[in-house]
Amino acid sequence: MFALAMRSVRHRPGRFLATLLSAFLGAAITMAFNSLHDTAARPGVDGVSRETLSLVAGVVGGYGTLLVFFAVASTLTVTVRQRAAEIELLRRSGATPGQTGRMVVGEAAAVALAGTVLAALPGMLGGRLLLRLFKDTGQVADSVAYSFGPVALVAGAGTTVLAATGAALLAVRRATRRRGGPRGRARTRLAYAALAVGGAGACSTFAFPSDAEALMAPAASGAILLSIGFALLAPRLLAGLLGRTRPRGASGWLAVRTLPRRADEVSGVLIPLIVFAGTAMATLYMQAVENDAVAASGAVKTVEAKNLETINLVVVGIVVAFSCVMLINSLYAATVHRRREFGRQRLAGATPGQVLGAVGVEGLLMTVTGVLLGTVAGLAGLLPYTFVRTDSLRPGQGPAIWLGVVTVAALATLGTGAVTARRVLRTPAVEAVAAAV
């Protein structure tokens, strides 16, 4: 079965691209941040430098790794589900669920490993760049030499491979189980677990002293977990709301009637969307609060302090950019897979414009849901942090960051959907419905 897995990866490289991309980016980011641990552990590094490096690697590397884990897992879930037809074919050809499972999980592991290997060099360069930033801003002594060692490697490979194989295992187990069984119970449990742990994480911020350097870690991780919990519950929430609406126009009707029954795919897109919105809001606002707090503490805004702001924003920006790329990646994979569905709509009398219109309405609904729930998750992380850091619940920040995040989320969701759907629609409808899955 592993041989079959290798063969299927080799012959259909295109279908593994989405997975490979997420594994590659995820591993690169994880390794870049975690290599700072390796660097800090080198002999001869002075205490201040070591502390700075460990802090960044621990805090940002920590929630960054969490984010990577779920991003890779969610991409894997989307791509494995899309292979339901192939899995069914294998089943009919006499493959036991165990064999099919080994094949899919084997593929996932192979792709994740390939992504990690490819990411080693960029991860190393990224880590080196981060270290340079710290040196340039005077937070790490110039004498510290960069090191890429076991922590980076284990964290990078471990996170991606574990996330990929774990998600593949769960997804393929669902696919090989016969239909009709109780559905979604595990998902609900997972959602509540994520919400509980995330909520606890965000609240645990209160247990920290206001000047704890790792204060951001529980709040950011909490926001990420809450986002994931919301994303798992969102499709059902959305279905309940949409069931009551009576939209006018064919595209709206089609979108509103279709979306609730695509719960699995929708949550595959909502996970990165809500996580992006939640993480971006939480981390960017926290950084802004932190910057203000430092400024308010009486310290004159030196060049050094400004540099510190910049570097923190860069670090947070990397994580936010990653979650945005994941959003685009998942949405692209999910939309490409709708070729046949679009073909059927067209054969039933939908013009390309109507199909695109329906995709647009779906995108809009997902954006609104994602931004709303992302905001809730982000606030849940941000408010405790703000309270502990500044003794006030009002972050004292304008809506600029929020508006920026919303704009990026809307552009990414609507733009990716429209561009991908337009490309998919280039195939004539008759071919689209006949195409092999």
Q: Which residues bind another protein (CB under 8 A)?
A: 179, 250, 253-254, 257-258, 261-262, 341, 343-354, 425, 428-430, 433-434
- Rounded least distance, CB 272 to another protein, Å: 22
- Rounded least distance, CB 239 to another protein, Å: 11
How does DSSP assign 343-376, residue by residue? Answer: HHHHHTT--HHHHHHHHHHHHHHHHHHHHHHHHH
Q: Quick count: other Cβ atoms within 10 Å of Cβ 399?
A: 8
- Rounded least distance, CB 354 to another protein, Å: 6
- Rounded least distance, CB 341 to another protein, Å: 7
Residues 90, 100: contact at Cβ < 8 Å? yes
Our CB check for another protein shows the closer of 26 and 343 to be 343
- Rounded least distance, CB 340 to another protein, Å: 9
- Rounded least distance, CB 420 to another protein, Å: 18
Our CB check for another protein shows the closer of 169 and 250 to be 250
Compute the distance between CA of residue 231 and CA of residue 243 in angstroms, rounded to an integer. Answer: 19
Our CB check for another protein shows the closer of 170 and 429 to be 429
3-class secondary structure, 184:
coil
Our CB check for another protein shows the closer of 26 and 252 to be 252
Our CB check for another protein shows the closer of 315 and 350 to be 350
Our CB check for another protein shows the closer of 258 and 390 to be 258
Our CB check for another protein shows the closer of 51 and 264 to be 264
- Rounded least distance, CB 367 to another protein, Å: 20
- Rounded least distance, CB 180 to another protein, Å: 10
- Rounded least distance, CB 333 to another protein, Å: 18
HEC assignment per residue over the chain: CHHHHHHHHHHCHHHHHHHHHHHHHHHHHHHHHHHHHHHHCCCCCCHHHHHHHHHHHHHHHHHHHHHHHHHHHHHHHHHHHCCHHHHHHHHHCCCCHHHHHHHHHHHHHHHHHHHHHHHHHHHHHHHHHHHHHHHHCCCCCCCCCCCCCHHHHHHHHHHHHHHHHHHHHHHHHHHHCCCCCCCCHHHHHHHHHHHHHHHHHHHHHHHCCCCCCCCHHHHHHHHHHHHHHHHHHHHHHHHHHHCCCCCCCHHHHHHHHHHHHHHHHHHHHHHHHHHHHHHHHHHHHHHHHHHHHHHHCCCCCCHHHHHHHHHHHHHHHHHHHHHHHHHHHHHHHHHHCCHHHHHHHHHCCCCHHHHHHHHHHHHHHHHHHHHHHHHHHHHHHHHHHHHHHHCCCCCCCCCHHHHHHHHHHHHHHHHHHHHHHHHHCCCCHHHHHHCCC
Our CB check for another protein shows the closer of 300 and 348 to be 348
Our CB check for another protein shows the closer of 300 and 436 to be 436
- Rounded least distance, CB 352 to another protein, Å: 5
Residues 217, 227: contact at Cβ < 8 Å? no
- Rounded least distance, CB 75 to another protein, Å: 22
Q: Quick count: other Cβ atoms within 10 Å of Cβ 380?
A: 24
Our CB check for another protein shows the closer of 174 and 389 to be 174
Our CB check for another protein shows the closer of 406 and 424 to be 424
